[in-house]
Each structure stands twice: as structure tokens, then as C-alpha cells.
Amino acid sequence: MSPATPPPSGIYVPSVLFFDENEDFDIASIKAHVLRLAQGGVTGILVQGSNGEAQHLSHDERKEAIRITRQTLDENGFQQVVIVAGTGGQSTRETKKLCADAADAGAEYCLVLTPAVWPPQMTPANILRFYREVADASSIPTMVYNFPVVTAGLDLTSDIIYELAQHPNIVGTKLSCGNVGKLHRLTSSVPASKFATFPGVSDVFLQGLASGSAGLIGALPNIAPKAHAELYRLYKAGRMEEAERLQGLLGHADWELTKMGSIAGIKAACVKHFGYGTSVVRGPLDVVEFDTASTGKLDELILLEMSL
């Protein structure tokens, strides 16, 4: 197997998925959201990330969400926007199937969560074996998704991720642990041309860039893609004072969104401020009313977004 190429550097967003009152796909709102993100300057869209409620969907729905996203991008002149598909399953067999489905539906990369039904049995050796077997079978490059909150506390070390980075078909990682030290250990150990390391939260976006990250894969660009693109531009231009000020706003807004309930909060913000979608989430998640949450910094960020 010849080495695969990592995804291009930039801003990736794990897009939320909109439902109607029956919890079926609201296709018009899904398309409107994908288009706004692309127009906001994102490099790629992660379909079926944790914010996309992947664990609440059937296999057919997961495949359909990828297909709708690719079609929307292509029909509106955004063929260059990359699709990464979340393909985490609770068995190696299921994960391989989800990777194959993602490739069929038009995804260019897979992002794979660590299985977590039996945490005590997920030893380093089993984790390495799982990711390597999935990457061996996948027809598109795979990435390692480290998100302890949704994997029963399993937190992959930089040592494990470094070992996985040696595989020719494993080309990157999303670190939703937010550990900048771990990120910097990886960026200083594995060439960026082989392996893309992304923080998974906006509150360390700038810190990640300073530590050699490939950009960001984060939830907050669902609300403010242009503001994130602006920070990336400021950093690239060496305008660090301005970038640090904007990072402060992103950090506060990211924390507010987390406290609100990230998925439901994003949907509520889209309904209120961008004129599409519904606030429906699939149970056991619960609806959030944007107006009743503490949203001072989020409101400030949305005003900035609308001015860009």
C-alpha cells in the first residue's frame, strides 16, 4: 500500500444535521446549512461527526447525509470543499462497512472513533489492531478521532497516535481532548506532509496553529465559519495581536456553546440568526431555546460573523 495524502490544511466543520418534527431529515435545511458553511470559507465538512448525531442514525441515513452534502457542494460550485465522514462503529466489522459506505457516497476521508462499549478491553494493543485493520480495509484514507467524552473516557496517548501515524493509510487525527501538548508532540514527531494533526475545539484554535496544527475541526464554525477563516488569515499574515483578540472571543463563545449543549445550541442559533432549520434533535438529546441560554459572547460572535 503506497502512502496516502493527508487532507489539506484549513478549517473543517462537523456539521449538524437538521430534522423535521418527526425526526426525519429536513433536506432543505441540511442543504442550506452546507451551502452557508461553504460560502463561509471552510476547507472541508465533516459529515457524521459527533455533532452530526451519527450514533442516532441508521447506516442508510449516514450514507444519505454524505450524499446530500456532496451533491449540495457540487451543484453550487464548491467541488473543492473536502468531505470527511465519521465512520466510527462499535466493532471492527461495522467500522469497515461504514468506511465503504462513506467512500461510495462521495467522502474523501474517514474519521474513526475508538470503540468504547468495553473500555477495560481497549488496551493499547487492541486499539492499534483496530485502527490498522480498518485502515487496511478502507479504500479512502483514514484519520484517528480522539474524543474521550463520547468514548467512555478513553483518551489516546500521543504514543499510540504516533504509532498509528506510521500506517500508510492513516493520515491524520482530530484531538477533541483539546490537549495542545499532545498536539505539539505529534506535529514535532510526524511530518505534516504525511500526517495532519487538528485540534477539535475552537478554544485552542490559535494555540494549535502556533504548535504546528493543520488548522481546526471544530463545532463552532457551524455558527461562525467566516470568523474562523478570519483568524486563520490573521495568523498566516503574522498579525498576532488581532488574532489573539479574536481567539479570546472564539474561546468564550466555544465554552458558552458547550454549556448550552453544543448540538442543540448550534441548531437553535441557525433557526434564530440564519433563518433555516429546526431545533429538533433526536432523543435522548433535548431541545435548547437560544434566547433563554447565557449567550453574551455567542451573540457577539454572531454579530461579527454577519459583518464579515
C-alpha cell at 29: 435545511
Query: 304 is written with which cell numbers?
Result: 461579527
Residue with cell 435522548: 284
DSSP letter for 19, please: B
267 is catalytic: no
Q: Which of 202, 253, 260, 259 is nearest to 231 (CA)?
A: 202
**Cell numbers representing residue 184 in the block:** 505539539
Pairwise CA distance, residues 191 & 199, whole Å: 16
C-alpha cell at 123: 488496551
- Distance, in Å, from the CA atom of 231 to the CA atom of 304, rounded to the nearest integer, reads 12
Residue in 174, 182, 267, 297 annotated catalytic = 174
Distance from C-alpha of 69 to C-alpha of 25, rounded to nearest angstrom:
12
SS3 content of the chain, % helix, strand, coil (to 5): 50, 15, 35
206's grid cell: 490559535
Which residues lie closer than 8 Å to 239 by C-beta, 6 or more apart?
none
Burial 137-164 (b: 16+ CB within 10 A, else e): bbebbbbbbbbbebbeebebebebbebb
Whether residue 11 contacts residue 270, with contact meaning beta carbons closer than 8 Å, is answered with no
Which residue numbers belong to the known binding site?
217
Binding residues for pyruvate: 217
Active site residue 174: yes
- State the CB neighbour count (10 A cutoff) for residue 186: 22
Residue with cell 501515524: 165
Which residue has cell 504548535?
211
Choosing from 12, 131, 145, 235, the catalytic residue is: 145
Catalytic annotation, residues: 145, 174
